[in-house]
Structure 1
């Protein structure tokens, strides 16, 4: 608030009052004097006057036993600050008022509040809402209304919900109008909304001046306006806005509560001119005021018989509650038997300001008023903080001859469709679906985007930069029209994005640094032109960098990102021993080991068990002979492996071998047919340590990057065109060229499309965000263009444009796009066949364990069957040799040739019995090979001497 001019005016006013005005004053009054200062010719003043008078009558009608009664002294300020101050002095000096209610406006209140502080008389205003009035320097000023700053959060929530990014405040040039602006701007900044322009309307403005200002606003892009002014000035503004076409589709108007709170009392023509506007209104439960409103309307007609009827507003309710608070405080203090004023001792020639009397009741009345809390007509009435506390606001939409609810806002719950006085963690509505539908200006139901390119305004200035790669961007001037024409990958992306916008966007290209044939101009300088407002947007192969985002905003990137090196490549394949390359050393060792292990398992299964069934002295043959005989016998008998366990092992091994051989064949074919290249330099650190020359594109940020990486500045060389650094790479560092060229990945991709057989990419070793378009800070176009770019990069259009401008050429079409060469095919290792090794090993090991278990089981069974029983018999009953009875023996002895000696007969008898046993045992061998082995081992020695003529 500008207080210096007001103070001077105030002092000049006080000089005109003489000490004589203090004559004939008395400290005793009939009733308790209370002054009221209002603008009685205004709508708010008339409503407030009726409410005050009605409140006084209602209070004492409800409290007939009270001993005190206040007497009102009403004065008209005439909407003039000097007259308001004069009225206050009159009330203080001539009527000894102990409380002043009013004045009506914030600028008037700043005068009167100074008088209240000097005289210690509380000044209570229920209409002065400027935040500048609330300070520690005005302890006797009480605001029985809301501070204007209380509503800025609800406005910001509303703007956030609908996604508008730019707002233009339109306010009157008074303390009331200016007071809210700092708070409003701060609230908008919290939601990333900008204020590109402010419109200030003086009170003395003419209708023509309002029209000129509105036409000026129409030439700007922003279409969201916040109106903060008195109802009288607002009526003129909206009437003119409708005349010039600004109350049509695409425009957004938001009114503060100073207008919206009394919109019901405005004329029908003004309300119709406001159709489509949104407004913030203090919430009052009107259903509780039906009977009171009827009585108030009747009283208003009595007080203003010549005026048209007006509707009760929140200012009238606050005035009503203020009188109740004052009357209650006067009763509680008790003033009947006390002197109301205290005169100071002053010099003879002093002014009336120095002679101003100090109220005795003022300090105590102020304390009681601030402590008094009650439920009034306006709601909960609490002045403990010298002003009403933030409450609930209603969001309204002016429509037809009235308005409708859109939603509600309170500090705890934010904006919501239904009134909710509870607490919520959500500050903003999730979407417009959480609010009731709005009828926007022009009777449109489509939510305005909040900005547009004016038809009468200039086209969007799009800055273009000649790139070293014409595939990305180039431009030239049309010799006939003089217009700048541009082409390239970056241009096509931008033009495709503009086509996808939901609105028309006229633009024209403006060339940067057109006097030069190549793009030696710095890209930082190019982007800086956007900050200087030479361009509305800068497009091209512009790298998104943190340093540039300090003064511009970027869209989402439309290319891949990163910084890498281009280095010469060399062949690496030695085809002499290439047949060993498909498999790694570990895999070769593992495969050979698995081969021998599987062979041993099969041999054990075919021989350890099978050898037990061979005749004669096979046990004593060498191992090699037995192995040959085993396989020969198997092939001879069945021509195939007979045992089921051996079959399982061999089937798993064959499966493993087939897969391994397939992978080996495929990898070997790749190594024999594909040219393999290796970089001559493997990392940026290796290049730095080597001390060789390194190149970069002139004007690129890469130079600063290399310096940050501690490269010797004498080794860093700049080049303008791809042909320049191609020639430098061809020479090499030792011949005055470079060993590597550091560039961004999109450029490297384009370079390698032409030189894939000679050079390769190493990296990226540094991360960047890619290429984007630069916009001014807070540009409303930024979000829409970014969404359009995303729709392009996520579809097939981006592939078509890349094939058009960056497609591979000639022999490079089969080369990998990211590196420019095909890297060595990876050798097959153990991990590639880990599952097969496990499967083969488990199958072989399990088969071997099962075979061994079977072998030992059979062996144990045979040993058990050959053990002697309790009768001393050596064989089982069914295997016992047949006994020879005595008759048979005698018959044998009587045969010819029986004359041999007793010992010879015994030997023959023993041999016969043994041969008989062998015959029985031989027959049982066919059923049980294990028994045969046992007999062979135990009886072989004795069988040997038997004559071959024996029937055995």
Structure 2
């Protein structure tokens, strides 16, 4: 096993440093001599006993041991106290099982009140629960995440920042360079998976996609890694994020350089899992990482830090130490500051009465569970949580059991050195410079990173994706016979070249000009004809094997989104049903708004209302002396008053008050019937004509090669035998002209852009748009996950909302065309008016009545007939009147003959 493979976060051989705190006569502080007078008059001192558990064969153990000694020595000198001897009790733990046994032994026999050590995800849960049970703080200076929330895990303290902040910093870098997708290569361990969860959350917040995640095990051979790299080279994404330990990370970059992936166009970013150890690698290893961008916690320079690093190097030289950690890194600085914080916290608590160190309990158990519960541990935990000072790594302060997030340094690997290109902080995000206090500066140039050197000695930051090996976009275009206003493909056989024009092509070319990078393209034709057993769906299935993008009048439809990604639409949205402007000729259509029973009821009501008014008006005298009409003639007109009142509302046809009341209510009912009749007639002449479309004898047309055939069969459940395909506007018109009875169609289902062109030429149609069936218009299609989708969508948005859109539309569709005009207004202007034949029956009735009136008034025969009819009617009326008066007289006589009941009663 190599030395660098023993990284202290992931291997099962970890260092755990245990402080055996507060035996009755000792206090944990900077090893300190107390000269207080006791009751016996003697001086009492406190000695520090330090227990260390580490892997003696690990170079990390050397760094840890030296950091502890230097931290204690510096603390003694800072506070000006005399140092006492250190009682170091070292235990060797080469495996996770040895570590767990050592912890139990020291908690039970050494009676510790705090534990300091490195943990991994598999260890922290067990040790945290154990520390919480005996109330002993478990302190880690390397764990960057925890499987337990702080509310359930208060005795597990991490003197390191959470990886959540590093993930946010990485997301900000990707946003800065406008990379929409990334490939993640990570170490296949529990810690690697934990970090991946933080990345997912951070990237989702700013809509950065993860194109691919490659998990590589620690024991992977070169052949396995090369196989994975070749797979990644076949993808369009060219931005790679690496989260691996130094050994595996250097192996990966060495193989990536051999595979040609450290060249221009590629971008590599490393996390601090690898970048914290770059200073310990030789030039050969770093050479394969030329142009890599890295991130790590920022450590500001100070005199104390410079002095510490000089002493460190001097000690390492004197002891002839070599290995992967011969240079101090951030973990050593965090350990140094952790020792200081423990010393400060303990110093605030001592002296302590030995009788108060443990909780009195009589609990019995086995050898591994019979542990004392510390009364001193909670006090130490409380002091740690409130300790705040400036250490070697920067500001030291614990928030919710973890170190306050520091600023992150963004650096660029150049040759055998590094160059800082910017910083990231939680509050301010990315900045170019930091002040001496670690706060971002606010000059005009602080909102972007400095220029970086990228792989291949390029100074232009990679766009994040790559074109195919040919260097040109393979643009698929549909070859069709109709609606060439959208796409018109012509193949030049002599030059072996495909040319395309039309509205969709113009939008594509305009969008190309707005992309943030130059792009070459080449058109590839595809015949979308059912005669060739192909369609638009078949063309989309050729992505990405044959095409990198499909440009044309391709509808954005939900079932297609399972195979491709679509850009934003560039046309109107929706499906319309277009039918013939009118049904077959119907002379008596004006009768149809009301059913026969309602017509009969209205006629009967008019007759009855005339009789009632005649009865009410017969006793009203003729008070108008100037009237030339006799009283009898005026009474006869009351029979027609329900109808005359509608035609001549200004005339006084009735005089009785009750007659007026009855006539008002009759007029109210008549006006309601008139309005209902008008509304129903309008519906019959327009919308209700559409009810025949789904009948069995009606045929429906659709565009050849489109998705409409599937839509009509599966969504509207129209039998395939009633569907007919057409390719051009002329074919549509011919089918509509002939109709279903003559081998044509009576309706068309198609999208709004097509029907606008159709209705511009032919106006003898009407339309209906089903509200529940919609599409998102036309868009360009890309492979799923293609970074081109976002770039083209942004460009299409700029084109469709730009000043050139009107010119593009009118160039292809003719003067006056605008996609902003709604379809209903366009069609209503071209809907034909009602004709004489629509109301032929009504004119026949009116004409017949007019001729009959002329016959009766102007001919001899007519006048005689009219006279005889009038005499006969008068006799009938006189007879009915006499009968009425006689009946009334008899009733009055009978009433008079009856004695007065009131008078009889009074006499009795």
TM-score, with structure 1 as normaliser: 0.58
Aligned pairs, how many?
Answer: 667
Q: SS where residue 540 of structure 1 aligns?
A: coil
Query: Residue deviations 1:84-104, cap 9 Å, x none?
Result: 334434543454333222125
1:455 lines up with 2:462 in the alignment: no
Select the residue among 194, 202, 217 that pairs with 1:187. 202
**1-structure distance, mates of 2:163, 2:526:** 48
Aligned to 1:678: none
Query: Residue deviations 1:825-851, cap 9 Å, x none?
Result: xxxxxxxxxxxxxxxxxxxxxxxxxxx
- Residues 115 and 299 of structure 1, relative CA distance in 2, 3 Å threshold: farther
Aligned to 1:542: 554
Select the residue among 381, 387, 410 that pairs with 1:395. 410
Aligned to 1:583: none
Query: Residue deviations 1:391-424, cap 9 Å, x none?
Result: 3112111112221121111111111212278999
User: Which entry has the higher C-alpha Rg, 1 or 2?
Assistant: 1
- Coordinate RMSD, CA, aligned: 5.4
Aligned to 1:438: 452
Using the TM superposition, name which of 719-728 and 320-329 deviates more. 719-728
**2-structure distance, mates of 1:278, 1:425:** 22
Select the residue among 779, 790, 799 that pairs with 1:772. 779
- Residues 734 and 276 of structure 1, relative CA distance in 2, 3 Å threshold: same
Give the alignment of 1:400-549 within 5 angstroms. Answer: 400-419=415-434, 434-453=448-467, 455=469, 469=483, 472=486, 489=502, 492=505, 502=517, 516-517=531-532, 537-544=549-556
Using the TM superposition, name which of 286-295 and 499-508 deviates more. 499-508
Query: Residue deviations 1:61-89, cap 9 Å, x none?
Result: 233559999755455655x4334334434
1:232 CA drift (Å): 2.8
Aligned to 2:4: none
1:536 CA drift (Å): 6.1
**2-structure distance, mates of 1:212, 1:26:** 58
Q: SS where residue 782 of structure 1 aligns?
A: helix
Q: SS where residue 295 of structure 2 aligns?
A: strand
Query: Residue deviations 1:784-822, cap 9 Å, x none?
Result: 44466679877999979997x8789xxxxxxxxx97999
Q: SS where residue 203 of structure 2 aligns?
A: helix
1:255 lines up with 2:262 in the alignment: no
CA contact (8 A) 1:530 1:775 kept: no
CA contact (8 A) 1:48 1:315 kept: no
Aligned to 1:236: 251
Aligned to 1:214: 229
Aligned to 2:79: 63
Select the residue among 307, 314, 327 that pairs with 1:291. 307
Aligned to 1:720: 725
**2-structure distance, mates of 1:537, 1:684:** 47
**1-structure distance, mates of 2:474, 2:97:** 50
Aligned to 2:113: 98
- Residues 197 and 73 of structure 1, relative CA distance in 2, 3 Å threshold: farther
- Residues 503 and 532 of structure 1, relative CA distance in 2, 3 Å threshold: closer
1:316 CA drift (Å): 1.9
1:748 lines up with 2:748 in the alignment: no
Q: SS where residue 209 of structure 2 aligns?
A: coil
CA contact (8 A) 1:558 1:770 kept: yes
Q: SS where residue 542 of structure 1 aligns?
A: coil
1:107 CA drift (Å): 4.2
Q: SS where residue 295 of structure 1 aligns?
A: helix
**2-structure distance, mates of 1:435, 1:687:** 65
Q: SS where residue 772 of structure 1 aligns?
A: coil
Unaligned runs of 5+ in 2: 1-11, 14-21, 27-45, 583-681, 694-699, 816-824, 832-908
Select the residue among 167, 173, 182 that pairs with 2:182. 167
Q: SS where residue 418 of structure 1 aligns?
A: coil
Aligned to 1:274: 289
**2-structure distance, mates of 1:206, 1:712:** 58
1:148 lines up with 2:163 in the alignment: yes
**1-structure distance, mates of 2:398, 2:277:** 23
CA contact (8 A) 1:36 1:72 kept: yes
1:372 lines up with 2:387 in the alignment: yes
Query: Residue deviations 1:539-576, cap 9 Å, x none?
Result: 43223468876986422445566666767799xxxxxx
Give the alignment of 1:308-347 within 5 angstroms. Answer: 310-334=326-350, 337-338=353-354
Give the alignment of 1:843-862 within 5 angstroms. Answer: none
Aligned to 1:640: none
1:468 CA drift (Å): 6.1
1:237 CA drift (Å): 2.1
**1-structure distance, mates of 2:81, 2:752:** 91
**1-structure distance, mates of 2:713, 2:325:** 79
CA contact (8 A) 2:359 2:373 kept: yes
1:245 lines up with 2:260 in the alignment: yes
**2-structure distance, mates of 1:225, 1:430:** 30
**2-structure distance, mates of 1:220, 1:264:** 33
1:370 CA drift (Å): 1.6
**2-structure distance, mates of 1:342, 1:478:** 94
Q: SS where residue 400 of structure 2 aligns?
A: coil
CA contact (8 A) 2:76 2:83 kept: no
1:217 CA drift (Å): 2.0
**1-structure distance, mates of 2:218, 2:556:** 48
**1-structure distance, mates of 2:172, 2:420:** 16
**2-structure distance, mates of 1:686, 1:92:** 94
Aligned to 1:126: 141
Aligned to 1:53: 69
CA contact (8 A) 1:555 1:786 kept: yes
CA contact (8 A) 2:431 2:441 kept: no
- Residues 88 and 747 of structure 1, relative CA distance in 2, 3 Å threshold: same
**1-structure distance, mates of 2:463, 2:85:** 58
CA contact (8 A) 2:277 2:329 kept: yes
Aligned to 1:629: none
CA contact (8 A) 2:579 2:690 kept: no
Give the alignment of 1:564-583 within 5 angstroms. Answer: none
CA contact (8 A) 1:34 1:101 kept: no
CA contact (8 A) 2:176 2:448 kept: no
**1-structure distance, mates of 2:54, 2:477:** 58
Q: SS where residue 198 of structure 1 aligns?
A: strand
**2-structure distance, mates of 1:375, 1:414:** 23
**1-structure distance, mates of 2:441, 2:413:** 30
Give the alignment of 1:819-830 within 5 angstroms. Answer: none
CA contact (8 A) 2:292 2:413 kept: yes
Unaligned runs of 5+ in 1: 1-11, 14-24, 571-682, 809-817, 825-952
1:385 lines up with 2:400 in the alignment: yes
1:738 CA drift (Å): 5.6
1:319 CA drift (Å): 0.8
